[in-house]
Amino acid sequence: MQAFTVEQVRRLEAAATQEVPEGALMQRAAAGLAVVVAGELERRTGRAYGTRVLVLVGPGNNGGDALWAGARLARRGVRVEAVGVLGTPHAEGLAALLAAGGRRLDPTALGDLRRYDLVLDGILGIGGRPGLPDDVADLVARVEAAEVPVVAVDLPSGVVADTGAVPGASVRADVTVTFGVVKVGHLLEPARARTGRLVLVDIGLDPTTETPELDAWDVARVADAWPWPAQRSDKYAKGVVGVDAGSETYPGAGIMATYGAVHGGAGMVRFLGPESAHAVLTTNLPNVVFADGRVQAHLLGSGWGDRPDGTQAVAAAVDSGLPGVLDADGLGFRPDELPESWLLTPHAGELAKLLGVARSEVEDDPLAAVRAGVERTGATVLLKGSTQLVARPGVRTVELAVPGPAWTGQAGSGDTLGGLCAAVLAAGRPAHEAAVLAASLQAVTAAAHPGPLPPHVLAERCADQLGAWWQERHP
Ligand SMILES: NC(=O)C1=CN([C@@H]2O[C@H](COP(=O)(O)OP(=O)(O)OC[C@H]3O[C@@H](n4cnc5c(N)ncnc54)[C@H](OP(=O)(O)O)[C@@H]3O)[C@@H](O)[C@H]2O)[C@@H](O)CC1
Ligand SMILES: [K+]
């Protein structure tokens, strides 16, 4: 699924309006919206006829869509009431609603909101500035407290369409009906959680003329793209990972990274971390070898602490010409320039440190931050967190891994993820693909095994998940 910016949407709409009569796009949007709302009413109450819908109407075309959809619903026997909450409502839309038997209410006459079966959020769309005025925020809070289902028109009002940020009050939608193309904010947290189920209505835009901002992977694409071994693949075809992770202070990081590499399908894992980790690895993963030798991808940095020879260790690995993953403490030892074949795996705090900005700056605009990370280092960057983004040099479109449940992130999950990434890298895949496949595998596995499993146990479940995908593809 691809997502676009507001500026791109405006261009696409301008191109489409050359081809069709005035108002046609809004009519298509309203028609699609009304179908979804009617379906939602039927699903929730068993019927659309006779149900009650409250339309919250802002001053722009977003309100226009909602009013025209309200008119269509009113003609089907839905009791539609509209309330203008900001500025002057779309005149033709309001006239159409009233002509179809809908009513306009004064905001002060709203009363108990629990009498409504559904609220339609037509306050702000792609023309919205972040946040909501206080009186509108109060009304939105009342809707939420009344637990009335909400369908958002195009975007949940209050969220930032281009970044997914939610800097102030916003609508929390159960369903969002968007038009033409998906917008960036639908897919990035925290706006993603406020979007609910996303429905895309075709209004005749042609997105092929624009470079997508975001390319979101789904589970089937991950499973199809996984580097499945061929029948005759030996350990070198599957890839050998060299894990130089952990330290005497943090041996567990090296162990969990190794769990990731082994369960991500590496043909062999050489553990080059601290000796204090050897006994645990020998007992639990006896296939891991401790001798230095040929590897096809490096994994460095997790649990290093302030390792005295960190800079030299990273330089030697990069100079080998092989691809690698540089994680956690290792990020502080990176050379000024890295090749694209090296994958950096910072979380928001680490990326902020790398860029010399506040963590909130990364969190408020993760797309810009992950691109800045690439710009700064020359490497491929995976920004870990609730939405996991991958950017690489020379490519505008940022890839989005399949999202997972909140408990994926705990101490050690990043180490394991580094190992999973290194396994895919060693199998010969480019760094950006290794990142998106590994992050998605970990997320899908966590979703399939609800509960806060410790990262090394989750790594074992990752292998089960790969096995299930393999069986689906080779019945
Ligand atoms: N274009 C097309 O072809 C199609 C578009 N479609 C629909 O149009 C929607 C975009 O419509 P839109 O451009 O009119 O913007 P919209 O979001 O309704 O509101 C802008 C108004 O709100 C105001 N305002 C903003 N933020 C505010 C705030 N925080 N607090 C208070 N006021 C605030 C803002 O004021 P201003 O910023 O000018 O001061 C302006 O008056 C789009 O999302 C989709 O639903 C579909 O029909 C398909 C075809
Ligand atoms: K809206």
Give the per-residue pLDDT at 352.
Answer: 98
The rounded Å distance from CA 323 to ligand 1 centre is 47
The rounded Å distance from CA 10 to ligand 1 centre is 11
Give the per-residue pLDDT at 230.
Answer: 82
Distance CA 302, CA 270 (A): 15
**Cβ atoms within 10 Å of 472's Cβ, excluding its own:** 10
Q: What are phi and psi of 90, to 5 degrees?
A: -50, 115
Looking at ligand 1, which atom is closest to the CA of residue 26? 47
**Greater model confidence, 304 or 233:** 304
Q: Give residue for tokens 């408020």.
A: 364
Distance CA 271, CA 299 (A): 10
The rounded Å distance from CA 132 to ligand 1 centre is 13
Count of alpha carbons within 13 angstroms of residue 11, beta-carbon side: 11
25-81 tens-digit pLDDT = 999 999 999 999 999 999 999 999 999 999 999 999 999 999 999 999 999 999 999
Question: Is 61 annotated as contributing to ligand binding?
Answer: yes
The partner residues of 289 in beta bridges, in order of sequence, read 270
Reported ipTM = 0.98
Neighbouring residues of 278: CB distance < 8 A, sequence distance ≥ 6: 271, 290
Give, for ligand 1, the residue of 4, 10, 62, 85 to mutate: max count of ligand atoms closer than 8 Å to Cβ. Answer: 62
The rounded Å distance from CA 120 to ligand 2 centre is 8
What residue ranges line ligand 1, CB within 6 angstroms? 13, 25-26, 29, 58-63, 65, 86-87, 124-129, 131-133, 153-154, 179, 203
Q: What are phi and psi of 234, to 5 degrees?
A: -95, -175
Looking at ligand 1, which atom is closest to the CA of residue 180? 48
pTM of the predicted model, to two decimals? 0.95
Query: Which of the listed CATH numbers 3.90.1150.10, 3.40.920.10, 3.40.1360.10, 3.40.1190.20 matches domain 219-473?
Result: 3.40.1190.20
User: Of all protein residues, whose CA lies closest to atom 11 belonging to ligand 1?
Assistant: 61
First to last CA, the chain: 28
Asked whether 114 and 146 are in contact (CB, 8 A), the reply is: yes
The rounded Å distance from CA 63 to ligand 1 centre is 8
Query: Which of the listed CATH numbers 3.30.420.40, 3.20.20.70, 3.40.50.10260, 3.30.930.10 matches domain 2-215?
Result: 3.40.50.10260
Question: Is 409 annotated as contributing to ligand binding?
Answer: no
- CA distances (Å), origin 195, targets 178, 186, 457: 10, 6, 32
Question: Is 131 annotated as contributing to ligand binding?
Answer: yes
Distance CA 308, CA 139 (A): 58
Whether the pLDDT of residue 215 is over 70: the answer is: yes
Q: Where are the alpha helices (DSSP H) in 46-133?
A: 61-75, 91-99
Distance CA 451, CA 425 (A): 29
Give the per-residue pLDDT at 175.
Answer: 98
Task: Give me the residue spans of the domains in the chain.
Answer: 2-215, 219-473
247-283 tens-digit pLDDT = 999 999 999 999 999 999 999 999 999 999 999 999 9
Count of alpha carbons within 13 angstroms of residue 361, beta-carbon side: 14
Question: Is 84 annotated as contributing to ligand binding?
Answer: no
Looking at ligand 1, which atom is closest to the CA of residue 17? 3
Distance CA 239, CA 223 (A): 19
Question: Can you tell me whether residue 292 is helix, strand or coil?
Answer: coil
